[in-house]
Homo-oligomer: A and B are copies of this chain.
Amino acid sequence: MARSTRRADLLDFAVLGLLHESPMHGYELRKRLNTALGAFRALSYGSLYPCLRELLATGWVSEASQRPGHAGSRRARIVYELTAAGKEHFQCVAEGAGPSAWDDDGFDVHFAFFARTTAEVRLRILEGRRSRLEERLATIRETSARNRERADAYTAALQRHGEESAEREVRWLEELISAERSAPPPV
């Protein structure tokens, strides 16, 4: 039984991360999720509101009733804020626990919250992502070598473009890794 209905971990994580900044209501959370983070390009209310309900039930966020005197206050909005347990859970996931810190989507979200982690954690995630991409590159190169004859010009161009994109991301990661390494130690 224990931790039964917990899932949608990535969305939870992203919401907690945004609430770290400041309390927010659903409508605004969705806008931020769709613009700021790389993943969640088209997140709908049908996902977000049930997620918020679950975060409430788990105790990771709480309802902060909107002050009526708030400047230019509109209709009653439900403002959510992080609880201590929520902060704790966020830190735990941010450090790389939970799955998917180097997936395409998971990585973007983790990266977006790098400011709340230590250099050690950042290095671990950047390097994990890099080796994930290098595995991908190895597969691409291997199969494109094997399929050299079978493939027409368009298929080949597509594979080549995918390969170059992955190579580009590896170089980007390498820059970030050496930047982290050469950063002044926090002592």
Interface residues of A (CB under 8 A from B): 35-36, 38, 108, 111-115, 139, 143, 147, 151-155, 157-159, 161-162, 165, 168-169, 172, 176
> With A112-B155, A115-B152, A152-B115 as given contacts, are A36 and B147 in contact (CB-CB < 8 Å)?
yes
Query: Within the oligomer, what is the number of copies of this chain?
Result: 2
When distances are taken between beta carbons in the complex, the residues of chain B under 8 Å from A143 are: 35-36
In the assembly, what is the distance between CA of A112 and CA of B176, in Å?
33
CB distance from A10 to the nearest CB of B (A): 15
Q: Is the CB of B38 within 8 A of A158?
A: yes
A153: which B residues are within 8 A, CB to CB? 115
Other A-B contacts than A36-B155, A108-B158, 18 sampled, CB-CB below 8 A, are A35-B143, A35-B147, A36-B143, A36-B151, A38-B158, A38-B162, A111-B154, A111-B157, A112-B154, A112-B158, A113-B154, A115-B153, A115-B154, A157-B176, A161-B172, A165-B165, A165-B168, A168-B168
Chain B residues within an 8 Å CB radius of A157 = 111, 176
Q: Which residues in B have their C-beta under 8 angstroms from that of A151?
A: 36
Residue of B nearest to A150 (CB): B21
| Shortest distance from the beta carbon of A144 to any chain B beta carbon, whole Å | 9
